[in-house]
Amino acid sequence: MKQQDLRVLKTEKNIKDSFIALLQEKTFSAITIQNILDTAVINRSTFYRHYADKFDLANHINQELVVQIKRLLEIRYRPTGSVALTIQEMNQEFQSFFEQKELFLAMLTISHEEVHLREDLLNVMISHYQENFNQEDLEAQLFASIVFTTLFYSLTHNQVLELEMVKKSMVQLMENFKKIN
């Protein structure tokens, strides 16, 4: 793997950080390339050297977040001899994701047919569940909804939820569900 120039990495980070700051102020459709340029304090040619347009930038960030979720799911469901190690790795990976909560929450505000983080994440979760458990579509969708909701809750409530806490809540949810007639 060829190591990227540090200047390129810093410029891309600056552009992404500026874009996220703008998403916290205004809607995706209201953000212009000029807004990004002004916030990042870069010129137009620098932006276009890295991204084709704001959709390309948003989709690039989406893909980075999807990769993180895939990594989290792979850790959770890979065969391992140590449950404690899996839980530890899951908690570490989630902590890393939690550190990017502003990015995640800002990207979820985008509602556009070309940029769709929520749908992308749900599809990854559904697909992962189906591959690992060979289950029906409804069960996979329920799994994805629960995982996404847990992640969203954790980020919006500023809590890193330990895996054991989530499992306990799920058991309680199932117990409550059994009581419904």
Three-state SS letters, 60-125:
HHHHHHHHHHHHHHHHHHCCCCCHHHHHHHHHHHHHHHHCCHHHHHHHHCCCECCECHHHHHHHHH
Dist CA 13 CA 11 (whole Å):
5
The domain spans of the chain are: 1-51, 58-178
pLDDT value at 72 more than 90: no
pLDDT value at 3 more than 70: no
Torsion of CA 96, 90, 70, 133, to 10 degrees: -160
| Residue 25 · residue 39 · CB < 8 Å | no
CATH 1.20.1070 fits 1-51, yes or no: no
pTM of the model: 0.82
Please state the φ and ψ torsions of residue 55, each to the nearest 5 degrees. Answer: -70, -40
Per residue in 146-174, pLDDT (tens digit) is 889 988 998 899 887 777 888 898 899 88
